[in-house]
Amino acid sequence: LEHDMKGNVENHTEITEFVLNGFKSHPGSQLLLSVLFSAMYIVTVVGNACMILLIRTDSNLHTPMYFFLQNLSILDICYSSVITPKAALTFSLGRRLISYSGCASQMFFFSLFGTTEAFFLAAMAYDRFCAICYPLLYPIIMNKRLCLFMVLGSYLSGCINCTIQTGFTFSLSFCGPQEINHFFCDVPAVMRASCSETLVNEMVMLALCGSIIVGTALVVFISYGYIILTIVRMPSAESRRKAFSTCSSHILAVSLFFGSVFFMYAQPGVASSPDESNTISVLYTVVVPTLNPFIYALRNHEVKGSLRKQLRRKGFFQ
C-alpha cells in the first residue's frame, strides 16, 4: 500500500508536459490546418484591431453599443491569441508537447476570455433592449458608470469561473501517457487524460458552465423577445428596418457563439466524441473571433458609414 501511494504521488508530481493529439488522425492535412489557423489568426487580429481603431477615431461611435463592441474586439484578440498561434505551430512543426504549467495557463486564460465573452454578449443584448424598447430613457439607463460596471463585472465573472475550473482540473492526478485528445487544453479533454475519478469535476463543470451559458443565453433571448415585439409594433416600415438592422449583426454573432458553446459545455455526456468536440471547438475558438468584426461591420450601417468616411479621408474614395 505504501509503495502504491508513493507511486501515485510520483506519477502526479513528475508530470512536466502533455501531448496534444487533436486532429492527429489526419496526417495529410496538418500543413493545411496550420495555414488555415495562421491565416484566420492574422485576419482576427487585423479585423478586430481595425474595428477598435474605427470606434476610437469616430466620435459618432462613442456610444454604449460601440463601447461594448470595442471591448468585444479586444477580448476576441486575446481569446484567439490563447489558442490559435500554439495550434498553428503544433500543426506545422509537429511539436505536440505543451508543458504542465503552459497547459494550466492556457486553460485559465481560455476559460477567462470565453466566460467574459458570454457575459459581454448578454450585456450587448441588454443594451439593444434598452435602446429599442426604452429609447427616451436609454441615455439615462445606459450611462458610463453602468457600462463600465458591466464590463468589469463580466471580467470578474470570468476570473471566478476560470479559477474554479483550472483549480479543480489540475487537482486531478495524471499518470501513464499524458495524451490530450484535443488541439488545446480544454477542460473536458484534460479531465479525460486524468487517471483520477472525475465525476465531481464533471458535475462542477456542468453546474458552472451550464449556469453561465444558460443564464447569459436567457438574458439574450428575453431581451430579443421584447425587442422583436417592440419592432413589430412600430408604425413605419422604415423604423422597423432601422431597428432590426442594429440588432441583426448581434443576433448572428450570438447564434454562432452560444450555439457551439452550448453544444460543448451545457450538456451532460458531451465529451463522448473527441473528434466531434475538436471540430466544434474550432468554430468558437477560431472562426467566431475571425467573423465577429466582419459581422458587425458588414451588417451595420453606422460602422459601414464610418468606414467609408475614414477611407475617404485617407484618399481611397473621392
What local confidence, expressed as pLDDT, does residue 5 receive? 42
What local confidence, expressed as pLDDT, does residue 242 receive? 76
Higher local confidence (pLDDT), 32 or 25: 32
In this structure, is residue 221 part of a structural domain?
yes
The CATH number assigned to the domain holding 69 equals 1.20.1070.10
In this structure, is residue 2 part of a structural domain?
no
C-alpha–C-alpha distance, residues 259 and 268, integer Å: 16
In this structure, is residue 313 part of a structural domain?
no
Question: Comparing C-alpha atoms, which of 279, 264, 257, 254 is closest to residue 210?
Answer: 264
Percent of the chain with pLDDT over 90: 35
Location of C-alpha cell 422604415: 238
Q: Is the pLDDT of residue 86 over 80?
A: yes
In this structure, is residue 306 part of a structural domain?
no
Q: What is the mean pLDDT of residues 210-215?
A: 89
In this structure, is residue 291 part of a structural domain?
yes
Torsional sign, CA 35, 36, 40, 41: negative
What total of structural domains would you count in the chain? 1
pLDDT band at 237 (very low <50, low <70, confident <90, very high): confident
C-alpha–C-alpha distance, residues 214 and 258, integer Å: 9
User: Residue 257: how many CA atoms within 13 Å on its side-chain side?
Assistant: 30
In this structure, is residue 315 part of a structural domain?
no
Helix (H) or strand (E) holding 265: helix 237-265
Strand-pair category, 17-20 with 97-99: antiparallel
Q: What is the mean pLDDT of the chain?
A: 83
pLDDT band at 314 (very low <50, low <70, confident <90, very high): low
Q: What is the mean pLDDT of residues 269-283?
A: 67
Condensed to tens digits (0 to 9), the pLDDT of residues 119-136 reads 999 999 999 999 989 989
| Owning domain of residue 238 | 17-297
Condensed to tens digits (0 to 9), the pLDDT of residues 138-168 reads 999 999 999 999 999 999 999 999 999 999 9
